[in-house]
Amino acid sequence: MNIWRHTAGRESLYRPSIRSAARMPDCAHCPVRDHSLCAGMEAGQLIRVAEKTDQLEATPGQALFFEGDPARHFFTIRRGVVRVVRSFPDGRRSVVGFLHDGDFFGGGFGQSAYPATAEAVTDLEYCRITVRDLEELAQEFPALHRQVASMASDRLHAANDHIVLLSRKTAIEKVAAFLLASAEWVGDKGQFDLPMARSDIADYLGLTIETVSRTMTRLIDNQVIALPTPQRVRVLDWSELNTLAKPEADHTDR
């Protein structure tokens, strides 16, 4: 018996609902075209990709796929945030990543099943293409082949960075590094939103919710950041935030 199969209360998007009814994407005007799978492709090539691609939507909490499902599709986020979750036999879950606008992820790369569950954190717009169709298009268009390889490498580097973050950084370093990465994800050096729950952030960083809250308060008290709203962060001192995020720095708050 596969314990990772669909269970009651979890909605798979393989059978689109009215909200997520598939349509062909307008690749030429895609908001993430320049930093997504289709970067560097010509107009005629984009049309070929669009013909093989579905554009869908999801609401917070909906799963794009579940851990253990057959890995049949690749996905690109047009707008929104996705959390990647691994499950354990005793029912515990672990957040192992967050994905943002332009990120490419899903099946293939020699995997027969998805290694984790992908869930929408926010309202989500995304594109979906079958593994077979993408492989055929990548053989036809060298630019697409190169981009697939590059973005697969990016995912591997992100996984390695997460391992380093969990194993080497103290609490203050983990939170500072997460805030820096979040600013980079949204491309805003002034202020940015953290739409995920504090419990998800704590899980991702390998900390307790209390430690995350205490560390954020410390950063606020030291005027490194401000929180105009519970989910919006304004960085007041980029130099100090960068210093705190360095793993070689000597910080004792764990």
117, part of any domain? yes
Average pLDDT for 85-106: 90
pLDDT at residue 15, as a whole number: 40
Question: Among 15-29, 107-121, 179-193, 228-242, whose mean pLDDT is lowest?
Answer: 15-29
pLDDT at residue 151, as a whole number: 76
- Three-class secondary structure assignment of the chain: CCCCCCCCCCCECCCCCCCCCCECCCHHHCCCHHHCCCCCCCHHHHHHHHHCEEEEEECCCCEEECCCCECCEEEEEEECCEEEEEECCCCCEEEEEEECCCCEEECECCECECCCEEEECCCEEEEEEEHHHHHHHHHHCHHHHHHHHHHHHHHHHHHHHHHHHHHHCCHHHHHHHHHHHHHHHHCCCCEEECCCCHHHHHHHHCCCHHHHHHHHHHHHHCCCEEEEECCEEEECCHHHHHHHHCCCCCCCCC
* Same-domain status, 188 and 140: no
C-alpha radius of gyration, the chain, whole number: 19
32, part of any domain? yes
* Same-domain status, 43 and 141: yes
pLDDT tens-digit map of 31-69: 888 878 888 788 888 888 899 999 999 999 999 999 999
Question: pLDDT grade, residue 247 (50/70/90)?
Answer: low
* Same-domain status, 117 and 228: no
- The count of structural domains within the chain is 2
- pTM for the model stands at 0.81
Q: Which residue has the higher pLDDT, 147 or 247?
A: 147
pLDDT at residue 116, as a whole number: 93
* Same-domain status, 86 and 199: no
Question: Of 136, 146, 142, 135, which Cα lies nearest the Cα of 106?
Answer: 135
The CATH number covering residue 60 comes to: 2.60.120.10
pLDDT at residue 149, as a whole number: 78
pLDDT at residue 108, as a whole number: 64
Domain that holds residue 139: 27-164
Residue where one domain finishes, among candidates 164, 179, 204: 164
* Same-domain status, 127 and 54: yes
* Same-domain status, 89 and 122: yes
| Distance, CA of 141 to CA of 137 (rounded, Å) | 6
Q: Which residue has the higher pLDDT, 253 or 103?
A: 103
pLDDT at residue 167, as a whole number: 75
| Distance, CA of 158 to CA of 185 (rounded, Å) | 12
Burial class of residue 156 in the structure, from the number of CB atoms within 10 Å of its CB (0-12 exposed, 13-18 middle, 19+ buried): exposed
pLDDT at residue 88, as a whole number: 86
* pLDDT over 80 at 21, yes or no: no
Question: Among 12-16, 82-86, 116-120, whose mean pLDDT is lowest?
Answer: 12-16
pLDDT tens-digit map of 199-211: 999 999 999 999 9
The CATH number covering residue 235 comes to: 1.10.10.10
* pLDDT over 60 at 12, yes or no: no
* Same-domain status, 158 and 199: no
pLDDT at residue 188, as a whole number: 62
* Same-domain status, 128 and 53: yes
Taking all residues of the chain, what is their mean pLDDT, rounded to a whole number?
83
* Same-domain status, 159 and 144: yes
Residue where one domain finishes, among candidates 134, 164, 194: 164
224, part of any domain? yes
* Same-domain status, 85 and 140: yes
19, part of any domain? no
pLDDT at residue 228, as a whole number: 94
Average pLDDT for 104-114: 81
